[in-house]
Amino acid sequence: MKKSKDIDEMIQQLFAGNRRAASRLITRVENETEDHHEIMKKIYPRTGQATIVGITGSGGAGKSTLTDHLIQKFREQGKTVGVIVVDPSSPFSGGALLGDRIRLQRHFLDDGVYIRSLASRGCLGGLSSATYNVIRILEAMGMDIIIVETLGAGQDEIDIIHIANTCILVATPGMGDDIQAMKAGIMEIADIIALNKSDLEGANRSLRQLQTALSVASLEEGQWAPRVIPTVSIGSRPEDLKGIDELASAITEHQEYLHTTRSIDKVKFERVEEELGLVFKDELQRLIFKGLRGTGKKRKYINSIIEGKNDPYSVVEEILNTYLIRKKKK
């Protein structure tokens, strides 16, 4: 454990925008070192002001290339940009997929950009409290915009709604049946849909399908109407690209919508609510399993249940009564 003085110094450097301090603090928070609570407590008051943009979609849809162009646009507007790429690691094989993150490297020399890969929780599914904490660190570092890129598979893409102010779903032509599935849920989280690779065959049909799906969604008075923007994110010449300006403008418009309607308050509330729930769960599990670990008690309990002599509910009651008791009301 680092001395508290060292941590304080790192945090001061972070507040000054120091990338090295950010990297070191992120590593501590990601690894949940003993002092990570202390770190988070100290940086929280300096957070909550950044624009958080979520980008989700299937593998190969072009999230990274779109992110790359968005960084460029925001930099042209004089804004600093933090990027968090949540990489799903196989729950069995381990190891994050690097894929085409490589192209983001061109921003590595720009002091106004900070990019970091994070592993998702794998087996447990969903974004970890570490992801939420790393976003806070990038906010404390002074980043104006934070892009969180998640693979649109399973829980991560649903969790993103709890963090991002603006959610972009990256779709591609010819998704066919997927449109049906999307209607059921995913589309309801997207503020903006980028129909990427819109130069491919079938793009017009997909565009119409998406627009139809969106048009039948019932909106309340004054509610943001999700929109589809056809994009092309890969091309050897700049004129091959398409829709990047429109996408960046749509993000700005959605932010303006959030602020003029005060919907931003709800977004912020939900984000903190989610964080609070995660910290709770982590903390409680830590407390309980600290009491069980290493003693062989857990194995004994499990075997007694298998043998039909006990059941999980009685075991949990017993452990709670042994390790925790509720204080009486004064």
Return d(Cα 225, Cα 51) in angstroms, integer. 19
For residue 268, what is the enclosing H or E element? helix 263-292
Sheet strands (E) in 89-175:
113-119, 145-151, 166-171
**Residue of 280, 293, 300, 318 interacting with its own copies (CB under 8 A):** 280
**Residue of 16, 181, 219, 225 interacting with its own copies (CB under 8 A):** 181
List of long-range contacts for 237-243, beta carbons under 8 Å, 24+ apart:
241/69, 242/198, 242/199, 243/194, 243/198
Instruction: Choose the stretch contacting its own copies; rule: CB under 8 A; options: 16-24, 201-209, 222-230, 312-320.
Output: 312-320
**Residue of 29, 40, 192, 194 interacting with its own copies (CB under 8 A):** 40
Neighbours of 108 (CB within 10 A): 10
Q: How far is the CB of 77 from its own copies (least distance, A)?
A: 26
Which 213-272 residues touch its own copies, going by CB under 8 A? 268-269, 272
Binding of its own copies at residue 16 (CB under 8 A)?
no
Binding of its own copies at residue 33 (CB under 8 A)?
no
Taking the least distance from each CB to its own copies, the nearer of 205 and 290 is: 290
Q: How far is the CB of 241 from its own copies (least distance, A)?
A: 25
Binding of its own copies at residue 59 (CB under 8 A)?
yes
**Residue of 29, 189, 194, 250 interacting with its own copies (CB under 8 A):** 189
Cβ atoms 52, 163 nearer than 8 A:
yes
Binding of its own copies at residue 1 (CB under 8 A)?
no
Taking the least distance from each CB to its own copies, the nearer of 91 and 235 is: 91
| DSSP summary character for residue 106 | G
Taking the least distance from each CB to its own copies, the nearer of 112 and 202 is: 202
Which residue, 163, 141, 228, 225, is CA-closest to 193?
228
Taking the least distance from each CB to its own copies, the nearer of 19 and 46 is: 46
Residue-by-residue DSSP string for 139-160 = HHTT-SEEEEEEESSTTHHHHH
Q: Mask 109-148, x = binds its own copies (CB under 8 A)?
A: --------------x-xx----------------------
Structure tokens, 36: 């990570």
For residue 193, what is the enclosing H or E element? strand 192-195
Binding of its own copies at residue 309 (CB under 8 A)?
yes
> Residue 271: left if φ>0, alpha if ψ -120 to 50, beta else—which one?
alpha
For residue 24, what is the enclosing H or E element? helix 19-30
**Residue of 1, 20, 60, 259 interacting with its own copies (CB under 8 A):** 60
Neighbours of 269 (CB within 10 A): 10
Q: How far is the CB of 126 from its own copies (least distance, A)?
A: 6
- State the pairing for strand pair 166-171/192-195: parallel
Site residues (CB under 8 A) for its own copies? 37, 40-41, 44-48, 59-60, 90-93, 97, 123, 125-126, 153-155, 158, 177, 181, 184-185, 188-189, 268-269, 272-273, 275-276, 278-281, 283-285, 287-288, 298, 301-303, 305-306, 308-317, 319-320, 322-327
